[in-house]
Amino acid sequence: MPISRRKFLANATALTASTLIANRAFPAVASSAQKVLIRTDAKVGMVKPEFHGHFAEHLGSCVYGGLWVGKNSRIPNINGYRKQAVEYLRDLGVPVLRWPGGCFADDYHWREGIGPVAQRSKRVNIHWGGYLEDNSFGLHEFIGLCRLLGAEPYLAGNVGSGSPKELRDWIEYCNYPSGSTLSDERAANGSPEPFHVRYWGIGNENWGCGGNMEPAEYARLFRDFSVYVREFGGTEPFRVACGPSGDDTRWSRGLYDGLRGDLPDGVSMHYYTGGADAPTKFTAAHMDEQLAIYAKVEEALIHQRAVLDSYHRGPEVGLILDEWGVWDQIPEEDEKKYGKLWQQSTVRSAVAAGLGLNIFNRHADKLYMCNIAQIVNVLQSMLLTDGPEGEHCVRTTTYHAFSLFKAHRSKTAVKVETTDSSPLGISVSASKSDRELVITCVNPRFDSDMQVECDVRGNSPREGTAQILHDADFNAYNSFEQSDRVIPKQYSVKVEGGKVRIDLPRLSVVTATLPIS
């Protein structure tokens, strides 16, 4: 139900008063007027659906107990995939899914995850707690999941402890139509149709868990491996090189120098936004610290794109933010109960997701793909389940933030100007099609509501629809007991004399979809 401006202000006042009584250190909620210019006459680039990509690793309960419960589970499942998770993720839309790691990828040997399940090898997961990995979720199970979700598969190859031959054979096994020993083995394992896997990561974090390499060493290996990454059955591979952690230019320059002109199709950079508190126990100051990092993420993307552009002498090379999201101080008891890196998502996390997704829209011309870490139960996930035996599966606040960006997919991002460019200033992005303008505003401040006036240059917007994701408590989250505590609500946005007026409460994400002429 739309909330009137009067009700909104009344609510805000009431919340301020009660918060002040509950916590004297909490400042009063101020209000600020924000002017925004949306230039639909200035196109940035397409909002690729891949900006909303995902990542699943054999870590904690992301795969086992999260996405996969096994065919004999009492938990409702579709051939072993958790039914509720599949349904929620299909609703959200998963354009691309990266697997099997992460750090796990450089210790993964794909042949151990094919063939009869009972005969698959059992291995210690050396990166994530030393549990016994029985490989019951392997390549065929992963491709099956991608097909169920409508996601493009993205396989991360093993450079750290694998060989060029192992990667080459994996590609032939996946993509060669029929007649070779490997493609016939795939058919015998139940998949006569080739998998057509296009995206191939050549290692993961090879500056760290993927081999502790120097950039020149990795560049040498990238060249060795990528010679054998070939087209089979018409599927041209897209080779993704391991890029920097954050804005580490030493790594990127060392890599590009070492590649000697044999540039990859994509470069994978990782940027996590660390947090000083447990997910549901953030202080306002620590939240500010974490949310302010998004300004650095934006700078890093611009900078890394510029570094890459100064090298590419051939076709475009895509910049991929392959792992991103908030990484908080995870309580040991949560990990014990639900699995390694099991992290609750709060209103703060939703705002963080909104800041990230707005950045991607604003830099749509510089980015190729962005995969949040990770899809279920690990770090800033879309869904949380209560362990391998648990039947609960809830959509996190981050899931809902992502859902507020769906309307941008495949539209053209346009230039946006704001008057406050400080790290915790208003964050806005806009995109358009011939008929619609989509605007997303994020208020990262806990102590100030914003009255936003958007001037639209280039088109005339009319009244449309809007949704808001907000809760006065920035530590609020969706629990197994209260799974819909924080969900998007219909909202009212005014269009007067060509201007769009949005009341943006503290810590909120609002998306308006407006018809234009």
- Residue by residue, DSSP assigns 236-270 as --EEEEEEEETT-HHHHHHHHHHHTT---SEEEEE
Q: Is the CB of 26 or the CB of 272 nearer to ligand AHR?
A: 272
CB of 34 to ligand AHR, least distance (A): 35
CB of 378 to ligand AHR, least distance (A): 6
Distance (Å, rounded) from C-alpha 302 to C-alpha 299? 5
Q: Does 107 bind ligand AHR (CB under 6 A)?
A: no
Q: What is the edge-to-edge ordering of all strands in the sheet holding 489-491? A: 489-491, 465-470, 508-515, 436-443, 427-432, 412-418, 30-46, 448-457, 499-504, 494-496
State which of residues 50, 57, 107, 328 lies at the interface with ligand AHR (CB under 6 A): 57
Q: Is 212 in contact with 201 (CB distance < 8 Å)? A: no
Q: Which of 50, 152, 205, 298 is catalytic?
A: 205
Residue type, 369: M
State which of residues 40, 183, 204, 226 lies at the interface with ligand AHR (CB under 6 A): 204
What is the per-residue binding string for ligand AHR in 63-102, x denoting contact by CB under 6 A?
--------------------------------------xx
Tokens 């900078």: give the residue: 303
Establish whether 323 is a catalytic residue. Answer: yes
Nearest CA to 96 among 246, 239, 1, 199?
199
Q: Does 323 bind ligand AHR (CB under 6 A)?
A: yes
Q: Which of 50, 57, 141, 323 is catalytic?
A: 323
Distance (Å, rounded) from C-alpha 378 to C-alpha 487? 20
Q: Is 183 in contact with 196 (CB distance < 8 Å)? A: no
Q: Is the CB of 80 or the CB of 211 nearer to ligand AHR?
A: 211
What is the per-residue binding string for ligand AHR in 377-416, x denoting contact by CB under 6 A?
--x-------------------------------------
Q: Which residue is nearest to ligand AHR (CB)?
A: 102
Q: Is 369 in contact with 323 (CB distance < 8 Å)? A: no
Q: How many residues bind ligand AHR (CB under 6 A)?
A: 10
Q: Is the CB of 169 or the CB of 205 nearer to ligand AHR?
A: 205
CB of 64 to ligand AHR, least distance (A): 16
SS3 letters across 373-427: ECCECCCCCCEEECCCCCCCEEECHHHHHHHCCHHHCCCEEEEEEECCCCCCCCE
Q: Does 205 bind ligand AHR (CB under 6 A)?
A: yes
Establish whether 205 is a catalytic residue. Answer: yes
Q: Catalytic amino acids?
A: 205, 323
Residues in the site for ligand AHR, rule: CB under 6 A? 57, 101-103, 204-205, 323, 373-374, 379
